[in-house]
Structure 1
Amino acid sequence: MFTIEHEFDSTVVTLVDEGDDADGPHLNEDVTINAFADCVTLEQWDPRTDQVHKITLSPAQLRDLTAALNLPEGIYRSEIKGD
């Protein structure tokens, strides 16, 4: 399950782990994704350390991640196509 909210300066997507009935309720903490104009952040609370961990991706890293999800194993370099 996930939610989408539009804030003043970002779009916020929250991913909720509902578990997998086949393997039992292996639930992870929610992941919150904030999409800003200049970066995307991913946040997840870690109950072991009682801290929120945050990862910041540049637009180029986000493009690479999106492409990587649809590619086979290997090493790739993305090209930015000019106008």
Structure 2
Amino acid sequence: MFTIEHEFDATIITLVDEGELPLKEDVIVSAFDECVTLQQVDPRTDQVRTITLSMDQVRDLAAALDLPEGAYQLAQDVD
């Protein structure tokens, strides 16, 4: 299950684990113009952990989900 909320400066997606027990903490994905952050509570420390991806890293991640094992470099867009 997931939710989507559009805020002033970001789109917020919350991923809720509905898999097998034990369930994982919710993941909050915040998409801004210049980056994407992923946040999740670490149940061992009860602290929020944040990962920040550049838009190029997000593009590479999206491509990597559909590619076989190997090393890749995507062509840069030319404006």
TM-score calculated relative to the size of structure 2? 0.95
Q: Counterpart of 1:66?
A: 62
Unmatched 5+ stretches in structure 2: none
Q: Counterpart of 1:77?
A: 73
Distance, in Å, in 1 between the alignment partners of 2:48 and 2:77 is 36
Which amino acid is 1:43 matched to? Q
Matched residues, number: 79
Q: CA RMSD in A?
A: 0.9
Q: How far has the Cα of 1:81 moved from its partner?
A: 2.7
Unmatched 5+ stretches in structure 1: none
1:2-81 matches, cutoff 5 A: 2-20=2-20, 25-81=21-77
Distance, in Å, in 2 between the alignment partners of 1:81 and 1:18 is 37
* CA-to-aligned-CA distance 1:26-66 (integer Å, 9 cap, x gap): 30000000000000000000110111000000000000000
Distance, in Å, in 2 between the alignment partners of 1:58 and 1:2 is 23
Matched-pair identity in %: 65
TM-score calculated relative to the size of structure 1? 0.91
